[in-house]
Amino acid sequence: MPGFLRTYAKPETDLQRPAEAAVVLITGLRRTLIGVLRSVFAQAFEGRVHLLIGIDGPAGEADLAVLDRLCAAHPDSCVVQVVHPGYATPVLRAVLTCLANSRYVAYLDDDNSWHPEHLRLLRAAVGEADWAYGLRWFVHPRTGRTICVDGWESVGPGRGIHAERFGGHVDPGCMMIDKLACALAVSWWTVPPAPGAPDRSMFAYLREYHRGAGIGRPTVYHRITPAHPLHKLRLELMGSAYAAAGAG
């Protein structure tokens, strides 16, 4: 049976020393993980990054040899640790946030990837607030091309099409928190207001009780899926940009 934890780092790395930022990545080991990890390893961020990868699925479905190959390319400034409990669980984000050896934690999953400036800009913004967030681009599900900036869904507190019902929205992949300032918020990753939506609970708590800061620019590439409940509305709002990104 695969091990519960794997670490990828330089042999002389002092794991006890805190990192300047941490990244919690939840994955089902989809093919898109290749691009996701490359975007983390390519961050223009000064300081150590602690990347915690949580495999969310049964043990028999995980090919950890894939991670061995991908994580071999980690930069010297990045420590990668993999946690695989052997079953699917909604608590991985909360658990890995607590395990992260950094006060500042950003989030990611395997349908998002990042612009190289993402961590640097969020870390600078969260220094003035309890949590920070950026915007995102929508990416075509087949071609991987950028469609347009999401200007109506993940746009921050009190804004966008979710403002009236949910008080706005921020995709987890667009945010970073100060986990000491937001210590009581972390457990909300495990409390969905509806099945499959714990990110809304976390956002609602942050919006209500913590000071947030937006960086005002897109730094996240979000691969959309036709199975999403809002796909039809998205197509209407994206207009011809969707077809253009999928051409060829």
pLDDT in tens, 121-131: 999 999 889 99
**Among 87, 68, 105, 77, which Cα is nearest to 185's?**
105
Cα separation, 194 vs 218, in Å, equals 28
Continuous H helices in 57-158? 64-71, 92-99, 118-126
What six digits make up the tokens of 151? 């200007």
Contact between 148 and 71 (Cβ < 8 Å): no
Q: Would the pTM of this model clear 0.95, i.e. be above it? A: no
Which pLDDT value is given to residue 87?
86
Q: Residue 192 above 70 pLDDT?
A: no
Cα separation, 16 vs 22, in Å, equals 14
Q: Residue 55 above 80 pLDDT?
A: yes
Cα separation, 31 vs 33, in Å, equals 5
Higher-pLDDT residue of 102 and 90 is 102
Domain count along the chain: 1
Q: Residue 217 above 50 pLDDT?
A: yes
Domain range for 80 is 5-246
Which pLDDT value is given to residue 68?
86
Which pLDDT value is given to residue 1?
46
Domain of residue 19, CATH code: 3.90.550.10
